[in-house]
Structure 1
């Protein structure tokens, strides 16, 4: 039997209130979606000020009503700068008798029924806890494993382990199941990626002392989920950058193939290619800035995560082993930040190549434009010479028709035709001379 007293499930859920490109209307929409989690008569206080930690409901803990009388729970919400944090706590309403590990499935169902499915979240953490009955001989890890299987259908069980307030703590996270689909990144609530912490305490006193750390967990899990979310966002941005680069490469190849065959593009086609590349380059530049922005998000939240974890360790005392929580700091620093830094460097090189492509295409257009204008000037010059010749010969031919009538009857009957022929001959001579002089 895997039995616990007072099994308690807490969901720590996070949603953005505002971001870099969020409009006022979108901010209000995000706010309304978050507040929809609570009963309709809830009183809110969320002023538009920067704040590290602000409780936004009155009262701060709001009891939720359950049709299952064996359950109890509450909502607790805060705003951490640009992010909303929501804790939903649900417990078996019995602090004396043991409960089976499968009780966590009931608690999870109750919590999920309280959620607004329209809320777009950036991450979540499940915290399972309870204490052992007196003189229990059960292995805490076996209990934690059964609790996890009751919560999740996932059979992945390779937890990080530690101790906290004399309790055994297990952390389960599956970062290797990275699937950066848009749905996964924008709605972590419905994704398979999850972060679970299970705490098995030896007695009621330890569990009650641990409950005093909920506010600390609220901040720590927020920073952690924002780091993961920003890294997922960076993968999407990188994918977008690569797609933009491929599109520009396709346009560049068209131009290069035309050059290799010594073909002359229609200037309209060349301008269209240039406009396509220019538009894509603008999006490429925006994405590159966004990639740098995601790196900054990770750096800021990593610093906050480390500070918050240090405070928790200091508050808990020296007899606690929370080093497993520090592993995430190392992962964020050595993998996430390093990967994004290399991506930025590579994409900046790509930006230089794209700018060179635009310059080359623009130069080609200028050459084509010059050749077109030059050919037009040639046409004007040659045609002008011919027209001038026709105009000059028109009247003299009429006046001299008696002289030419014996030599060429055609000139007598058709003086204008004769002038036109002479004009064409002169135009041809002018064209040949201009061609030789170039």
Structure 2
């Protein structure tokens, strides 16, 4: 009987530890819910904080569930040992001398264990069970938010990459046009300038355009023509 009594008291003592630790985790969960409302709106920072919260909640939920399981085990331990205690008490009552043996204090302990200790653990479990459900709901909600925000970030990243690719193509096209134009102009200028064999003289109505001026004009026209043809060609390739 003393062994059963010790087991009952020890189980209840352990239940207080489990309850206190679970209660602290429950309070932390409430604080986490409040902190979520104050998260920054900037996507990358917000997503990082959500991932950190999700990681912490996963560990906390595991510990919380473990404490609830311990409370259930401790309650079952008390009830089992109360039954064994009662059996021994009934045997003692059968062989006791009613006029001389007072076993009332033994019965009072049994009543206390059943009506106070075991019932208190049941109340604790009833209160803390909502926390386990809350952990599950919050974790699932955060996972959903993280998936949505990650999808939005990926879509934005794809959009930015597409704009960058378009800008790079436009720049490459411009470089091609300018390069071909300048190259063609230089070739034309070199070819025409080869025919210049006299120094420059002031222009007047009685004389034609000086060869150097003609060379410059042909160079400009060649540059424009080559650039235009290159632009049309690159535009057709981009459309295709």
Counterpart residue number, 1:302: 82
- Mapped to 2, the partners of 1:337 and 1:398 lie a distance apart of 90
Normalising by structure 2, we get a TM-score of 0.70
How far is 1:251 from its partner? 2.5
Counterpart residue number, 2:195: none
User: 1:314-336 CA distances to partner (integer Å, 9 max, x unpaired)?
Assistant: 12244333122111111111111
1:318-329 alignment to 2 at 5 Å? 318-319=98-99, 320-329=101-110
User: 1:146-165 CA distances to partner (integer Å, 9 max, x unpaired)?
Assistant: xxxxxxxxxxxxxxxxxxxx
Counterpart residue number, 2:31: 250
SS at match of 1:295: helix
How far is 1:263 from its partner? 5.0
> Does 1:380 find its partner at 2:161?
yes
- Mapped to 2, the partners of 1:397 and 1:388 lie a distance apart of 14
- Mapped to 1, the partners of 2:30 and 2:144 lie a distance apart of 17
- Out of 68, 73, 91, the residue aligned to residue 293 of structure 1 is 73
SS at match of 2:102: coil
> Does 1:282 find its partner at 2:66?
no
How far is 1:354 from its partner? 1.5
- Mapped to 2, the partners of 1:306 and 1:227 lie a distance apart of 12
How far is 1:234 from its partner? 0.8
- Mapped to 2, the partners of 1:388 and 1:394 lie a distance apart of 10
- Mapped to 2, the partners of 1:276 and 1:251 lie a distance apart of 10
Counterpart residue number, 1:267: 47
- Out of 126, 137, 142, the residue aligned to residue 356 of structure 1 is 137
Check 1:263–1:379 CA distance in 2 against 1; reply closer, same or farther (3 A cut): closer
- Mapped to 1, the partners of 2:38 and 2:142 lie a distance apart of 13
SS at match of 1:257: coil
1:32-431 alignment to 2 at 5 Å? 220-258=1-39, 262-264=41-43, 265-319=45-99, 320-401=101-182
- Mapped to 2, the partners of 1:279 and 1:324 lie a distance apart of 45
* Structure 2: segments with no counterpart, 5+ residues: 186-215, 232-240
Normalising by structure 1, we get a TM-score of 0.40
- Mapped to 1, the partners of 2:175 and 2:88 lie a distance apart of 99
User: 1:247-306 CA distances to partner (integer Å, 9 max, x unpaired)?
Assistant: 222222221122xx6454343332111111111111001111001010011011000100
> Whose relative contact order is higher, 1 or 2, with alpha carbons under 8 Å and at least 6 apart?
2
* Structure 1: segments with no counterpart, 5+ residues: 1-219, 420-438
Greater fraction helix? 2
User: 1:6-63 CA distances to partner (integer Å, 9 max, x unpaired)?
Assistant: xxxxxxxxxxxxxxxxxxxxxxxxxxxxxxxxxxxxxxxxxxxxxxxxxxxxxxxxxx
Greater fraction strand? 1
How far is 1:366 from its partner? 1.6
- Mapped to 2, the partners of 1:376 and 1:309 lie a distance apart of 75
